[in-house]
Amino acid sequence: MKIRIATRKSELALFQANLVAQELIKKNAKLDVELVPMTSDGDETSEPLHQIGGKGLFINTLESALVNNLADIAVHSLKDVPAKLDNNFCIAAVLERASPGDMIIGNNGLSIQELPLNSSIATSSPRRYAQIKNLNPEINIVPIRGNIATRIKKLGQENIDGLIVAKAALERLNISTQNCYEFSFEEMLPAASQGYIGIECLASNAKVIDILKSINSHDDLILAQAERDFVSKLNGSCLSPIAIYCRQNADQILISAKVLSQNGDKQIYKEIISSFKSIEKDINKLSKEFIALGGDKLIHS
C-alpha cells in the first residue's frame, strides 16, 4: 500500500513529514511512502495572519489535497491547526511530544525582565505578545512573518533584539540554543498542542486511520486533544491569547491554563489536577469556569 503525505515546503515542515514517513516505514515494512510538498495560501502572502484568515490558511491546501485524493495524510505542527476541524477531517495520530516551551533567540541569554528598556522582541503570536506584555509592559513587540530561517535572518537585518520561537522547532532543525533564553512555564505557557506533530486524514478513511494507529502516541493524543478542546470551548483560535499545558506526572495530569487580554494587562490563570480517565470531563469543567469569569470575552478585549 502507498501512503502519500501532504506537507508544506518549509524546512521544518519537510523535516516533520520525513519523520512521520520514517516512523510509518519502521512500523509497516511493506508500506510505500511518498511526500507531496505543497505551497499553502499562507505561504504566498506576507500579510499579518489576523488580517488574512489566521493560521488555517496553512492547512487549507493540504486538506484540499486529502479531499481531492492527491494525498492520504497531511502532516502539521499541531499548534497551527485550528481547534475546530471540519467534520470531514480528523487528527488520527500524533508523535511523542517534543519540548512544548518557547525561547528567545538573539538576546544573549537575557530574560524578558533583564532586557534593556525599550528592547524590541519579534513575534506575531497574540499568545506570546500578551504574555510578554504581562511580564514587562516596556518591551516593544515587532510583528514578524516567515519560516524559521527567514525570521532568524530578519533578526540580524532589522535591528531586533530578540525573536521568540518554539523550542521544538529549533531542536528539530538542529539550530543552536546557546545564548538563548528559555521561558519557564510560569512566565509563558505554550499554545495548545505546541510541540506535537499532528497527522490529519479524512475521517472516513478507516484504512489509513488503522495504519496511523501504529505510530500514534496514544496518551499524547489524549493530552493534545484536551488542550485543543479547551481552546475550542472558549471559541478561541490559533490567534487568541490562550495558553494551556497538560502534562503527565506519575498517574496524574497537571493542567495549567491561562487566557489574557490582547495587550496582556489582564489574565485569568488556573491549575487543576486531572487523570486520563477524567480529563475530558475536567477540561469541560475548566472551560466553563473560564467562561464564567469572562475568559471567552477577555481574549477579544
**Adjacency order of strands within the sheet including 32-38:** 32-38, 2-8, 73-77, 197-202, 89-94
Identify the burial level of 248 via C-beta atoms within 10 angstroms of its C-beta, where 0-12 means exposed, 13-18 middle and 19 or more buried. Answer: middle
Residue 80 annotated to the active site: yes
DSSP-based helix, strand, coil % in the chain, nearest 5: 35, 25, 40
DSSP state for residue 247 in the 8-state scheme: E
The one-letter amino acid code at 192 reads: A
Torsion sign, CA atoms 163, 168, 173, 175: positive
* Whole-angstrom distance, CA of residue 259 vs CA of residue 154: 30
CB-based burial, 157-182: b 16+ in 10 Å, e otherwise: eeebbbbbbbbbbbebbebeeeebbe
* Whole-angstrom distance, CA of residue 238 vs CA of residue 83: 8
Instruction: Decide if 111 contacts 181 (C-beta within 8 A).
Output: yes
Q: Give the three-state DSSP class for 3.
A: strand
* Nearby residues of 38 by Cβ (< 8 Å), 6 or more positions away: 6, 7, 8, 9, 61, 62, 65
Please tell me which residue in 41, 43, 80, 296 is annotated as part of the active site.
Answer: 80
**Bridge partners, 254 (sequence order):** 247, 273
Q: Give the three-state DSSP class for 129.
A: helix
Instruction: Decide if 262 contacts 126 (C-beta within 8 A).
Output: yes
**Adjacency order of strands within the sheet including 252-260:** 242-249, 252-260, 267-274
* Residues tagged active-site: 80
